[in-house]
């Protein structure tokens, strides 16, 4: 047998082996997909509601931070929220305002 014939025969056998592997892979997928139930979709995690603050809580926190020596930063923070005094800050901004206040110092 010539080298070309041997190579052709080897390639044919390789192609047949590849076909067999594809068939086995397909059968195994069918077997395992039937045997292993699909995982239940996880319920979406609900975002924790943002903490709400009363004006008294915000005022107390700002007062404490000011007494710690951060008066200028406290005033700048109030201004950043578009107010000239703490009572001028919108209640809807309190969670973000308090987070920013905690970052001072």
Quote the pLDDT of residue 70: 93
pLDDT digits (tens, 9 = 90+) for 86-95: 999 999 999 9
Question: What is the pTM for the complete model shown?
Answer: 0.54
pLDDT digits (tens, 9 = 90+) for 39-74: 667 766 666 677 899 999 999 999 999 999 999 999
Quote the pLDDT of residue 98: 94
Q: How far apart are CA 64 and CA 104, in angstroms?
A: 12
Quote the pLDDT of residue 27: 81
Quote the pLDDT of residue 54: 95
Quote the pLDDT of residue 36: 63
Among candidate residues 15, 26, 101, 19, the one with its CA nearest the CA of residue 66: 101
CA 14 to each of CA 4, 17, 22, 27: distance values in angstroms, whole numbers, following the listed order: 15, 5, 12, 20
More confident residue, 40 or 18: 18
pLDDT band with cut points at 50, 70 and 90 for residue 33:
confident
DSSP state of 92: G
CA 38 to each of CA 2, 25, 42: distance values in angstroms, whole numbers, following the listed order: 53, 19, 12
pLDDT at 97 over 90: yes
């Amino acid at each position: 047998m010539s080298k070309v014939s041997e190579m052709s025969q080897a390639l044919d056998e390789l192609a047949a082996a590849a076909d067999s592997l594809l068939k086995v892979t397909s059968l195994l997928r069918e077997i395992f997909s039937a045997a292993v139930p699909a995982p239940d979709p996880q319920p979406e995690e609900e975002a924790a509601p943002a903490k709400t603050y009363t004006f008294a809580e915000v005022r107390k926190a700002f007062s404490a931070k000011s007494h710690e020596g951060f008066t200028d930063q406290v005033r700048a923070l109030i201004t950043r929220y578009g107010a000239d005094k703490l009572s001028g800050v919108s209640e809807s901004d309190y969670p973000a305002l308090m987070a920013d206040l905690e970052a001072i110092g």
